[in-house]
Structure 1
Amino acid sequence: MATHTTHRAHTTDTTHAPRTPRATRARTVFFDEIGGPEVLTLREVALDEPGPGEVRVRVDAVGLNRAEALFRSGDYYYPATLPGSRLGYEASGVVESVGAGVTAFAPGDPVLTGPGIEMSAQGVYAERVVLPVDSVLPRPAPLDAVTGAALWLAYSSAYGGLVEVGGLRAGDHVVINAASSGVGVAAIQTAARIGAFPVAVTRTAAKRQRLLDLGAARVIVSDEEDVPKEVRRLTDGRGAELVFDAVGGPGLPELATAATTGGTVVTYGWLGGGTMRMPLNWPLTVHGYNNVEMTSTAEGRRRVNAFLASGVQDGSLRPVVGEVLHGLERIGDAHRLLESNAHVGKVVVTVEHGDG
C-alpha cells in the first residue's frame, strides 16, 4: 500500500457562528479555481428541504471517478462553473426525507446516486445532498455503504459501453485497457458474466495476478508486450471482436489494430489527451461512449439497474474497493491517490457524521 502525505482540505471557521439543526446543514466540497487536489475546500452550507420530486440523502461514502479529477483540472468534456463548483457523481447513503410526489423512496432507505447529476450544482462530495429522484436508485441489499459507492458509475459504464453500444456477446474477446481502474474492473466482470473473454491491459506486471483473480481471461502488460500482436496471438490471428478504450488520444489507432476485421472500438475516456487520427479505410466501427446517453432515460436506467442488481445478487458483479480514506477532510489525499494509479479498483472516502 502506498504511503501518502496528508493534506487536509480547508474548512470555514464556524466556531462562533449560529448553527441551525445539523440535519439541515452539510459540509460540502467545493473548488473556486481549476487546479490540482489542493484547490479542494470544505464549506458548511444550508440545505433546503426536498421539493416536489426531490430526495434528501445522508451521504455515508463517496466513490471517486477519474471524471472528477478531470473536471477539477479543467480537462472534462464540460467545464466547471467557477467560483464555487461542487464535485462528485457517486455517493452511497440513506434517505433522510422526500419531497411531494416521491413514492419510490422513504426515509431510511439505503440508496446510491449517479444518474443525471451536473457536478457544478449537484456534486455529491458532501455530508448531505438534495437531488432529483431520478438521480437516486436503491442500493442492492448485499452491499454496505462503502462497497455501494464503488458500484453504479463504473458498472453502468461497463454495461452500457460493452453490451448496449459495443454489442458484446458470449464467446467474443474484448480488450480492456486501464484494466485496474474502477471501470476496467467492472468491464472484466461484466464481460465474464455474459460469457465473453476479457483481455485486460495494464502497464506493469505488478497488477497481473490481481487482474487474473478478478476474472480476466488473459493479462497483457503493455510496458513489456506489444498489445495488438499479443491479442492476435491469443485469438489465433483473428483479433478481438471489441476494444473497450479508456485512453483515446494518439495511441488509439495502434490499439485499434488489436480488433478483428469488422470489429468494434468503444472509447469512453480521454486519458491520453491530444488528437486521434483515424485512418479513413479502417474496417472497423468506432463509437464514442457517454454514460449520460445510456442513463438519461427511464428505459436506459431500468436496463442498467436490472443488470447491476441481478449481478450483485448472484455474485458475478463484485465491486472492488482499492483503498478507503476516512473523512471528507481526506478528499485531497483521495484525489492524489486516484491520480497515482497505484490502486486496483475504486478509491472511496467515508463521511463521518457527528450526529451518529
Structure 2
Amino acid sequence: MKAFVCTEFGPVDNCAVEEIELRPPDDDQVLIEVHSASLNFPDALMVEGRYQFKPPLPFSPGMDLAGIVREVGTNITHVAPGDKVIAFSGHGAFAEMCLAPRDKIVPMPAGMTFDAAAAFGITYSTAIHAFQECGRLQPGETVLVLGAAGGVGIAAIEVAKAMGARVIAAASTDEKLALCREKGADLTINYNSEDLRKRTLELTDGRGADVIFDPVGGEYSMTAFRATAWGGRLLVVGFAAGDIPRIPLNYALLSERSIVGVFWGAWAARDVEGQRRNLATMARWFTEGKIAPVIDSTIDLAQIPEAMKRLMDRKVKGKVVVRVRKA
C-alpha cells in the first residue's frame, strides 16, 4: 500500500510517498481503509523529532482519520467491517490503510463526509476537553481564544459558544478574524495591530476574560494571562509560536488565577468513557448545526510537505485534509 513515510527525524522534505507492507490487525486493533486524514501541528513536530512521543522509525505520520473498517481483531465488538468510523491512530493515518487501537475508534456521525470527519476528531475533542474537564467553563463566562483562526482555534470558538460562553477571538490578520466572526466569535482582536491585554480589558469592561484558550504560547501567553479576571484560567493547549513561555507565579497569586495544562490524548486514554461522552456531545452539536469544521484545503499524500510548511508558518485557516482516496 502507499503511505507517506518518515525514515529519519528532520525536515519534512526528507519524507516521501512509498510502498509499504500491510500488516493485519492484532486482537485489539482495527484495520481501516483511509479515505481522509487531517494535518495537525503535532504531526510536523513528530516528523522533526520534537514531539513528546517518537514513533519507531520508519513511520507514517497522521494522528486522526476517517474511513471504512475492513478487518477487525478478535476482541473488537463495537465496530464491524463496512462501518464508517473516525479513528485516532496516533500516527499512521497518512496511508491507504491504517491500524488503530479499539479504544480510539468511534462511528462517524450520520450525515458527515469523510473530509469533515477527519477534520472533526482531534481539534474538537481537544476543545471540549479543555473547556469542560480542564477549564470548568460556565455559561455566561467570557473566553479569549488565541490563534483563533487555526483548526483548534475555530473548534474552540464553536465549542465555547455551544457551552453558552461569550467569545473573544484573537488572531494575526483581519482576514482571519473575519472567519472567526463567521464561526460565532462575538468580538475580535488583531494582536498584530492591537494591544492584546489592553483590548481584552476594554472588551470586558476592565474585568478580564474568565478563560484563555492558548494553543500559541510565546509572548502571547503572558500577555493574555495578565488580562484574565479574578479566578481566571489559562488553558495551555500548545506552543504554535515555537517558544514555551515562562510566567512569573506572582501573576497567578494576585488574582487567584490558574494555569491548567490540556493534554487531550493522555486524558482520553485514561478516561475512555469520558471521551465517548464528549464525542456523543460533539455529534449532537454537529447534527444541530452548532459545530462544523472549516477546511482550508484538501491535498493528496504527495502534497503533505508543502502543507506542513504552511501549517508551521501559521498560514492555514481551519484544517488541511489529506484526501487519500475519493469517497
Is the deviation greater in 134-143 or in 153-162?
Answer: 134-143
Distance 1:78 1:132, change over 3 A: closer
Output the CA distance in 2 between the equivalents of 1:186 and 1:271: 16
User: What is the CA deviation profile of residues 297-328 of structure 1, one whole-angstrom value per residue up to 9, with x for unaligned ones?
Assistant: 22222222112111111110111111111x31
Distance 1:276 1:210, change over 3 A: closer
The equivalent of 2:323 in structure 1 is 350
Distance 1:188 1:275, change over 3 A: closer
The equivalent of 2:163 in structure 1 is 194
The 8 Å contact of residues 142 and 312 in structure 1, kept in 2 or not, is answered as no
The 8 Å contact of residues 168 and 189 in structure 2, kept in 1 or not, is answered as yes
Q: Provide the TM-score with structure 2 as the length reference.
A: 0.93
The 8 Å contact of residues 60 and 95 in structure 2, kept in 1 or not, is answered as no
User: Could you tell me which amino acid in structure 2 is paired with residue 237 of structure 1?
Assistant: G
Output the CA distance in 2 between the equivalents of 1:332 and 1:274: 23
Distance 1:86 1:214, change over 3 A: same
User: Could you tell me which amino acid in structure 2 is paired with residue 332 of structure 1?
Assistant: P
User: Could you tell me which amino acid in structure 2 is paired with residue 161 of structure 1?
Assistant: A
User: What secondary structure does 1:71 align onto?
Assistant: helix
The 8 Å contact of residues 243 and 258 in structure 1, kept in 2 or not, is answered as no
Equivalent residue for 1:329, pick from 302, 311, 323: 302
Pairing of 1:9-20 with structure 2 (within 5 A): none
Distance 1:58 1:275, change over 3 A: closer
How far off is 1:118 after superposition?
4.1
Q: Does 1:212 pair with 2:181?
A: yes
Pairing of 1:1-356 with structure 2 (within 5 A): 26-82=1-57, 84-114=58-88, 117-119=89-91, 123-281=92-250, 282=252, 283=255, 284-296=257-269, 297-325=271-299, 327-352=300-325
Q: Indicate the RMSD between aligned Cα atoms, in angstroms.
A: 1.7
Provide the aligned length of Structure 1 versus Structure 2: 322
User: What secondary structure does 1:151 align onto?
Assistant: helix
User: Could you tell me which amino acid in structure 1 is paired with residue 258 of structure 2?
Assistant: T
Q: Provide the TM-score with structure 1 as the length reference.
A: 0.86
Distance 1:191 1:223, change over 3 A: same
User: Could you tell me which amino acid in structure 1 is paired with residue 199 of structure 2?
Assistant: E
Distance 1:333 1:269, change over 3 A: same
User: Could you tell me which amino acid in structure 2 is paired with residue 59 of structure 1?
Assistant: V
How far off is 1:209 after superposition?
1.5
Output the CA distance in 1 between the equivalents of 2:310 and 2:174: 19
The equivalent of 1:21 in structure 2 is none
The 8 Å contact of residues 64 and 90 in structure 2, kept in 1 or not, is answered as no
The equivalent of 1:10 in structure 2 is none
User: What secondary structure does 2:235 align onto?
Assistant: strand
User: What is the CA deviation profile of residues 253-287 of structure 1, one whole-angstrom value per residue up to 9, with x for unaligned ones?
Assistant: 22211111221101110223344322222231101
How far off is 1:339 after superposition?
2.5
Output the CA distance in 1 between the equivalents of 2:204 and 2:314: 29
How far off is 1:152 after superposition?
0.7
User: Could you tell me which amino acid in structure 1 is paired with residue 112 of structure 2?
Assistant: L
How far off is 1:48 after superposition?
2.8
How far off is 1:79 after superposition?
3.2
Structure 2: 5+ residue runs without aligned partners? none
Output the CA distance in 2 between the equivalents of 1:79 and 1:98: 26
Report the structure number with the largest CA radius of gyration: 1
User: What secondary structure does 2:283 align onto?
Assistant: helix
How far off is 1:331 after superposition?
1.8
Structure 1: 5+ residue runs without aligned partners? 1-25
